Structure 1
Protein backbone atom coordinates (compact mmCIF):
# COMPACT_ATOMS: atom_id res chain seq x y z
CA UNK A 1 0.00 0.00 0.00
CA UNK A 2 1.23 3.49 -0.82
CA UNK A 3 0.08 6.94 0.25
CA UNK A 4 1.34 10.14 -1.36
CA UNK A 5 0.82 13.72 -0.16
CA UNK A 6 2.13 16.90 -1.76
CA UNK A 7 2.45 20.01 0.41
CA UNK A 8 3.60 23.60 0.18
CA UNK A 9 6.93 24.06 1.94
CA UNK A 10 5.40 26.14 4.73
CA UNK A 11 5.49 25.60 8.49
CA UNK A 12 1.89 24.40 8.39
CA UNK A 13 3.04 21.41 6.31
CA UNK A 14 4.43 19.72 9.43
CA UNK A 15 1.01 19.52 11.11
CA UNK A 16 -0.72 18.42 7.89
CA UNK A 17 1.88 15.69 7.32
CA UNK A 18 1.43 14.42 10.90
CA UNK A 19 -2.37 14.36 10.52
CA UNK A 20 -2.13 12.61 7.16
CA UNK A 21 0.27 10.02 8.58
CA UNK A 22 -2.01 9.37 11.57
CA UNK A 23 -5.03 8.93 9.28
CA UNK A 24 -3.22 6.66 6.82
CA UNK A 25 -1.74 4.43 9.51
CA UNK A 26 -5.15 4.16 11.14
CA UNK A 27 -6.73 3.20 7.80
CA UNK A 28 -3.99 0.59 7.32
CA UNK A 29 -4.75 -0.82 10.79
CA UNK A 30 -1.38 0.07 12.26
CA UNK A 31 -1.67 1.21 15.84
CA UNK A 32 1.66 -0.09 17.12
CA UNK A 33 4.62 2.08 16.12
CA UNK A 34 2.24 4.76 14.80
CA UNK A 35 3.62 7.42 17.17
CA UNK A 36 7.16 6.60 16.07
CA UNK A 37 6.28 6.89 12.38
CA UNK A 38 4.41 10.13 13.06
CA UNK A 39 7.40 11.57 14.95
CA UNK A 40 9.81 10.62 12.14
CA UNK A 41 7.51 12.16 9.52
CA UNK A 42 7.37 15.32 11.60
CA UNK A 43 11.15 15.56 11.89
CA UNK A 44 11.79 14.89 8.19
CA UNK A 45 9.07 17.28 6.99
CA UNK A 46 10.41 19.97 9.32
CA UNK A 47 13.83 19.61 7.69
CA UNK A 48 12.30 19.72 4.19
CA UNK A 49 10.32 22.86 5.08
CA UNK A 50 13.53 24.57 6.20
CA UNK A 51 14.90 24.03 2.70
CA UNK A 52 11.70 24.95 0.87
CA UNK A 53 10.44 27.97 2.82
CA UNK A 54 10.17 31.49 1.55
CA UNK A 55 12.66 33.85 3.23
CA UNK A 56 11.75 35.23 6.65
CA UNK A 57 9.76 38.43 6.33
CA UNK A 58 8.06 37.39 3.09
CA UNK A 59 4.48 38.56 3.42
CA UNK A 60 3.03 39.25 -0.01
CA UNK A 61 1.04 36.99 -2.26
CA UNK A 62 3.91 37.09 -4.77
CA UNK A 63 6.28 35.82 -2.06
CA UNK A 64 3.98 32.86 -1.50
CA UNK A 65 4.11 32.06 -5.21
CA UNK A 66 7.81 31.29 -4.67
CA UNK A 67 7.12 28.60 -2.08
CA UNK A 68 8.56 25.28 -3.13
CA UNK A 69 6.67 22.05 -2.74
CA UNK A 70 7.59 19.00 -0.71
CA UNK A 71 6.09 15.52 -0.76
CA UNK A 72 5.49 12.71 1.68
CA UNK A 73 5.25 9.08 0.59
CA UNK A 74 4.31 6.31 3.03
CA UNK A 75 4.73 2.68 1.96
CA UNK A 76 3.40 -0.31 3.86
CA UNK A 77 4.97 -3.73 3.51
CA UNK A 78 4.13 -6.75 5.65
CA UNK A 79 6.97 -6.04 8.06
CA UNK A 80 7.68 -2.30 7.80
CA UNK A 81 6.54 1.21 7.00
CA UNK A 82 8.85 3.37 4.95
CA UNK A 83 8.72 7.15 4.98
CA UNK A 84 10.07 9.21 2.08
CA UNK A 85 10.23 13.00 2.09
CA UNK A 86 11.15 14.79 -1.13
CA UNK A 87 12.26 18.40 -1.39
CA UNK A 88 13.79 20.33 -4.27
CA UNK A 89 17.09 21.09 -2.50
CA UNK A 90 19.76 18.60 -3.65
CA UNK A 91 21.94 19.39 -0.60
CA UNK A 92 22.43 16.16 1.41
CA UNK A 93 21.02 16.11 4.93
CA UNK A 94 23.60 16.89 7.60
CA UNK A 95 23.46 15.55 11.12
CA UNK A 96 24.60 18.04 13.75
CA UNK A 97 26.79 17.34 16.75
CA UNK A 98 24.49 16.66 19.68
CA UNK A 99 24.48 18.52 22.95
CA UNK A 100 22.15 17.87 25.86
CA UNK A 101 21.44 21.59 26.28
CA UNK A 102 20.82 22.36 22.58
CA UNK A 103 17.30 23.56 21.76
CA UNK A 104 17.22 22.11 18.27
CA UNK A 105 19.12 20.09 15.72
CA UNK A 106 18.01 16.67 16.95
CA UNK A 107 15.81 15.75 13.99
CA UNK A 108 18.18 13.48 12.08
CA UNK A 109 19.55 12.11 15.34
CA UNK A 110 16.00 11.02 16.26
CA UNK A 111 15.52 9.55 12.79
CA UNK A 112 18.78 7.58 13.10
CA UNK A 113 17.88 6.43 16.60
CA UNK A 114 14.22 5.47 16.09
CA UNK A 115 14.29 3.95 12.61
CA UNK A 116 15.74 0.62 11.51
CA UNK A 117 17.64 2.35 8.71
CA UNK A 118 17.64 5.68 6.93
CA UNK A 119 19.43 7.58 4.22
CA UNK A 120 18.86 9.75 1.18
CA UNK A 121 19.09 9.60 -2.58
CA UNK A 122 18.86 11.98 -5.52
CA UNK A 123 15.94 11.06 -7.80
CA UNK A 124 16.23 11.67 -11.56
CA UNK A 125 13.68 14.51 -11.26
CA UNK A 126 16.03 16.52 -9.01
CA UNK A 127 16.14 17.45 -5.37
CA UNK A 128 16.57 14.73 -2.79
CA UNK A 129 14.54 12.13 -0.95
CA UNK A 130 15.32 11.47 2.70
CA UNK A 131 13.89 8.13 3.78
CA UNK A 132 13.62 5.91 6.82
CA UNK A 133 12.17 2.50 7.64
CA UNK A 134 10.23 1.56 10.78
CA UNK A 135 9.81 -2.18 11.40
CA UNK A 136 6.39 -3.48 12.34
CA UNK A 137 5.53 -6.29 14.70
CA UNK A 138 4.69 -9.51 12.88
CA UNK A 139 1.04 -9.29 13.92
CA UNK A 140 -1.49 -6.48 13.88
CA UNK A 141 -0.93 -5.21 10.34
CA UNK A 142 -3.44 -5.44 7.53
CA UNK A 143 -1.09 -5.85 4.57
CA UNK A 144 -2.50 -8.30 2.06
CA UNK A 145 -0.85 -11.59 1.15
CA UNK A 146 0.47 -10.18 -2.13
CA UNK A 147 2.46 -7.49 -0.30
CA UNK A 148 2.90 -4.03 -1.68
CA UNK A 149 5.10 -2.50 -4.37
CA UNK A 150 8.78 -3.08 -3.67
CA UNK A 151 10.82 -0.19 -2.34
CA UNK A 152 13.24 1.15 -4.95
CA UNK A 153 16.81 -0.09 -4.64
CA UNK A 154 18.94 2.53 -2.94
CA UNK A 155 22.59 2.93 -2.22
CA UNK A 156 23.53 2.31 1.41
CA UNK A 157 23.46 5.45 3.50
CA UNK A 158 26.69 7.39 3.65
CA UNK A 159 25.50 9.36 6.66
CA UNK A 160 27.95 9.33 9.57
CA UNK A 161 27.01 7.58 12.77
CA UNK A 162 26.09 10.23 15.35
CA UNK A 163 28.93 11.12 17.71
CA UNK A 164 26.66 11.68 20.64
CA UNK A 165 26.04 9.86 23.84
CA UNK A 166 22.68 8.15 23.62
CA UNK A 167 20.63 9.03 26.65
CA UNK A 168 18.12 6.29 27.35
CA UNK A 169 15.62 8.58 29.04
CA UNK A 170 11.96 8.08 28.13
CA UNK A 171 11.11 11.44 29.68
CA UNK A 172 13.17 13.27 27.03
CA UNK A 173 11.35 11.46 24.21
CA UNK A 174 8.03 12.18 25.94
CA UNK A 175 8.97 15.90 26.09
CA UNK A 176 9.62 15.84 22.33
CA UNK A 177 6.30 14.09 21.64
CA UNK A 178 4.44 16.52 23.95
CA UNK A 179 6.04 19.48 22.17
CA UNK A 180 5.00 18.14 18.78
CA UNK A 181 1.42 17.65 19.98
CA UNK A 182 1.36 21.28 21.16
CA UNK A 183 2.37 22.40 17.63
CA UNK A 184 -0.82 20.97 16.11
Structure 2
Protein backbone atom coordinates (compact mmCIF):
# COMPACT_ATOMS: atom_id res chain seq x y z
CA UNK A 1 0.00 0.00 0.00
CA UNK A 2 1.41 3.37 -1.03
CA UNK A 3 0.81 5.93 1.71
CA UNK A 4 1.78 9.56 1.68
CA UNK A 5 3.25 10.87 4.93
CA UNK A 6 1.05 13.07 7.09
CA UNK A 7 1.77 16.78 6.72
CA UNK A 8 4.52 18.14 8.96
CA UNK A 9 3.32 21.74 8.88
CA UNK A 10 -0.24 22.92 8.87
CA UNK A 11 -1.54 26.48 9.18
CA UNK A 12 -5.02 27.75 8.41
CA UNK A 13 -6.99 30.90 8.94
CA UNK A 14 -10.40 31.92 7.61
CA UNK A 15 -12.69 34.89 7.36
CA UNK A 16 -16.38 35.27 6.59
CA UNK A 17 -17.62 38.39 4.84
CA UNK A 18 -20.85 39.86 3.57
CA UNK A 19 -21.07 39.08 -0.17
CA UNK A 20 -20.76 42.67 -1.35
CA UNK A 21 -18.09 44.38 -3.51
CA UNK A 22 -16.10 45.60 -0.49
CA UNK A 23 -15.44 41.93 0.40
CA UNK A 24 -12.78 41.89 -2.34
CA UNK A 25 -10.64 44.57 -0.67
CA UNK A 26 -11.19 43.06 2.78
CA UNK A 27 -10.09 39.63 1.54
CA UNK A 28 -6.91 41.14 0.06
CA UNK A 29 -6.04 42.76 3.40
CA UNK A 30 -6.75 39.45 5.16
CA UNK A 31 -4.39 37.57 2.81
CA UNK A 32 -1.66 40.18 3.17
CA UNK A 33 -1.84 40.13 6.97
CA UNK A 34 -1.90 36.33 7.24
CA UNK A 35 0.99 35.67 4.84
CA UNK A 36 3.16 38.33 6.45
CA UNK A 37 2.44 36.86 9.87
CA UNK A 38 3.37 33.39 8.58
CA UNK A 39 6.59 34.90 7.17
CA UNK A 40 5.92 34.06 3.52
CA UNK A 41 5.72 37.63 2.12
CA UNK A 42 6.97 36.61 -1.34
CA UNK A 43 3.56 35.10 -2.07
CA UNK A 44 1.42 38.07 -1.00
CA UNK A 45 1.02 39.60 -4.48
CA UNK A 46 -0.03 36.38 -6.20
CA UNK A 47 -2.31 35.30 -3.34
CA UNK A 48 -3.96 38.74 -3.27
CA UNK A 49 -4.65 38.54 -6.99
CA UNK A 50 -6.07 35.02 -6.66
CA UNK A 51 -8.31 35.88 -3.72
CA UNK A 52 -9.50 39.04 -5.52
CA UNK A 53 -10.62 37.06 -8.54
CA UNK A 54 -12.22 34.25 -6.53
CA UNK A 55 -14.09 36.60 -4.16
CA UNK A 56 -15.25 38.75 -7.10
CA UNK A 57 -16.70 35.62 -8.73
CA UNK A 58 -18.32 34.56 -5.43
CA UNK A 59 -19.94 37.97 -4.94
CA UNK A 60 -21.24 37.93 -8.52
CA UNK A 61 -22.64 34.42 -7.99
CA UNK A 62 -24.34 34.94 -4.63
CA UNK A 63 -24.08 38.49 -3.42
CA UNK A 64 -25.12 42.04 -4.00
CA UNK A 65 -23.10 43.66 -6.79
CA UNK A 66 -24.19 47.26 -6.27
CA UNK A 67 -21.08 49.32 -5.38
CA UNK A 68 -22.69 50.73 -2.23
CA UNK A 69 -25.53 48.43 -1.20
CA UNK A 70 -27.97 49.48 1.46
CA UNK A 71 -27.27 47.62 4.66
CA UNK A 72 -30.91 46.60 4.81
CA UNK A 73 -30.47 44.65 1.54
CA UNK A 74 -27.81 42.37 3.05
CA UNK A 75 -29.30 39.18 4.47
CA UNK A 76 -27.89 36.10 6.17
CA UNK A 77 -27.77 34.45 2.71
CA UNK A 78 -25.21 37.01 1.47
CA UNK A 79 -22.06 35.40 2.87
CA UNK A 80 -18.72 34.36 1.37
CA UNK A 81 -15.86 32.73 3.23
CA UNK A 82 -12.14 32.94 2.54
CA UNK A 83 -9.59 30.47 3.84
CA UNK A 84 -5.81 30.41 3.56
CA UNK A 85 -4.11 27.15 4.30
CA UNK A 86 -0.52 25.96 4.22
CA UNK A 87 0.17 22.25 4.30
CA UNK A 88 3.93 21.62 4.28
CA UNK A 89 5.08 23.68 1.28
CA UNK A 90 1.68 24.09 -0.41
CA UNK A 91 -0.37 27.29 -0.12
CA UNK A 92 -4.10 27.05 -0.79
CA UNK A 93 -6.43 30.00 -1.32
CA UNK A 94 -10.03 28.83 -0.91
CA UNK A 95 -13.28 30.77 -1.32
CA UNK A 96 -16.72 29.40 -0.41
CA UNK A 97 -20.07 30.72 -1.62
CA UNK A 98 -23.55 29.25 -1.44
CA UNK A 99 -23.97 28.70 -5.20
CA UNK A 100 -23.24 25.25 -6.61
CA UNK A 101 -22.55 26.61 -10.11
CA UNK A 102 -18.90 26.28 -11.08
CA UNK A 103 -17.15 29.38 -12.42
CA UNK A 104 -16.82 29.33 -16.20
CA UNK A 105 -13.39 29.90 -17.74
CA UNK A 106 -13.57 32.35 -20.64
CA UNK A 107 -11.06 33.19 -23.33
CA UNK A 108 -11.68 36.91 -23.86
CA UNK A 109 -10.21 38.82 -26.78
CA UNK A 110 -8.40 42.13 -26.37
CA UNK A 111 -11.60 44.17 -26.63
CA UNK A 112 -13.63 42.15 -24.13
CA UNK A 113 -14.11 43.64 -20.69
CA UNK A 114 -13.81 41.08 -17.90
CA UNK A 115 -13.46 37.32 -18.09
CA UNK A 116 -9.72 37.26 -17.44
CA UNK A 117 -9.82 36.06 -13.82
CA UNK A 118 -9.59 32.30 -14.22
CA UNK A 119 -6.98 32.42 -17.02
CA UNK A 120 -4.91 34.69 -14.74
CA UNK A 121 -5.26 32.23 -11.86
CA UNK A 122 -4.23 29.37 -14.16
CA UNK A 123 -1.13 31.29 -15.23
CA UNK A 124 -0.04 32.26 -11.71
CA UNK A 125 -0.80 29.08 -9.73
CA UNK A 126 -0.21 25.37 -10.11
CA UNK A 127 -3.90 24.78 -10.52
CA UNK A 128 -7.41 25.50 -9.38
CA UNK A 129 -10.58 23.49 -9.05
CA UNK A 130 -14.04 23.41 -7.53
CA UNK A 131 -15.02 21.35 -4.49
CA UNK A 132 -18.67 20.82 -3.55
CA UNK A 133 -18.99 20.06 0.19
CA UNK A 134 -21.88 18.03 1.53
CA UNK A 135 -23.23 21.06 3.41
CA UNK A 136 -23.84 22.94 0.16
CA UNK A 137 -22.39 25.62 -2.00
CA UNK A 138 -18.92 25.32 -3.45
CA UNK A 139 -15.31 26.00 -2.57
CA UNK A 140 -13.18 27.29 -5.43
CA UNK A 141 -9.52 26.81 -4.60
CA UNK A 142 -6.12 27.53 -6.08
CA UNK A 143 -2.80 25.95 -5.10
CA UNK A 144 0.77 27.27 -5.08
CA UNK A 145 4.12 25.75 -4.13
CA UNK A 146 6.22 27.51 -1.51
CA UNK A 147 10.00 27.67 -1.88
CA UNK A 148 10.37 27.23 1.86
CA UNK A 149 8.00 26.48 4.74
CA UNK A 150 6.35 29.26 6.74
CA UNK A 151 7.96 30.63 9.90
CA UNK A 152 5.15 32.04 12.02
CA UNK A 153 5.87 33.76 15.34
CA UNK A 154 6.21 31.45 18.36
CA UNK A 155 2.93 32.50 19.94
CA UNK A 156 -0.42 33.51 18.44
CA UNK A 157 -1.20 37.16 17.90
CA UNK A 158 -4.29 38.72 19.41
CA UNK A 159 -7.35 38.14 17.22
CA UNK A 160 -8.56 41.05 15.12
CA UNK A 161 -11.84 42.37 16.50
CA UNK A 162 -14.53 43.49 14.07
CA UNK A 163 -17.26 45.86 15.31
CA UNK A 164 -20.72 44.26 15.28
CA UNK A 165 -22.04 46.93 12.92
CA UNK A 166 -19.82 45.73 10.05
CA UNK A 167 -19.61 42.03 10.87
CA UNK A 168 -21.46 39.84 8.37
CA UNK A 169 -24.57 38.23 9.79
CA UNK A 170 -24.00 35.00 11.67
CA UNK A 171 -26.28 32.05 11.92
CA UNK A 172 -26.93 29.26 9.46
CA UNK A 173 -24.92 30.58 6.48
CA UNK A 174 -21.90 31.31 8.67
CA UNK A 175 -22.00 27.73 10.00
CA UNK A 176 -22.42 26.33 6.48
CA UNK A 177 -19.43 28.35 5.22
CA UNK A 178 -17.24 27.21 8.10
CA UNK A 179 -18.30 23.59 7.68
CA UNK A 180 -17.69 23.68 3.91
CA UNK A 181 -14.16 25.00 4.27
CA UNK A 182 -13.29 22.58 7.03
CA UNK A 183 -14.72 19.66 5.03
CA UNK A 184 -12.38 20.59 2.16
CA UNK A 185 -9.43 20.51 4.59
CA UNK A 186 -10.46 17.16 6.09
CA UNK A 187 -11.00 15.57 2.69
CA UNK A 188 -7.61 16.84 1.53
CA UNK A 189 -5.92 15.40 4.61
CA UNK A 190 -7.68 12.04 4.09
CA UNK A 191 -6.23 11.89 0.57
CA UNK A 192 -2.75 12.08 2.08
CA UNK A 193 -3.29 8.97 4.20
TM-score (norm 1): 0.72
Query: CA–CA distance in 1 between the matches of 2:65 and 2:38?
Result: 37
Aligned: 1:39 with 2:49: yes
Task: Kindly tell me the number of residue pairs found equivalent between the two proteins.
Answer: 148
Task: Find the partner of 2:37 among 4, 27, 45.
Answer: 27
Query: CA–CA distance in 2 between the matches of 1:93 and 1:125?
Result: 19
Task: Report the equivalent of 1:142.
Answer: 151
Query: CA–CA distance in 1 between the matches of 2:124 and 2:22?
Result: 24
Question: Could you say what secondary structure the match of 1:39 adopts?
Answer: helix
Query: CA–CA distance in 1 between the matches of 2:133 and 2:58?
Result: 15
Aligned: 1:91 with 2:101: yes
Distance 1:58 1:32, change over 3 A: closer
Stretches of structure 2 lacking an aligned partner (at least 5 in a row): 1-10, 154-184
Distance 1:76 1:65, change over 3 A: same
Q: CA deviation at 1:101?
A: 2.4
Q: CA deviation at 1:59?
A: 5.4
Contact 1:10 1:52 (8 Å CA) reproduced: no
Task: Find the partner of 1:50 among 49, 53, 60.
Answer: 60
TM-score (norm 2): 0.69
Distance 1:101 1:13, change over 3 A: same
Stretches of structure 1 lacking an aligned partner (at least 5 in a row): 145-149, 155-184
RMSD: 2.5
Query: CA–CA distance in 2 between the matches of 1:141 and 1:66?
Result: 35
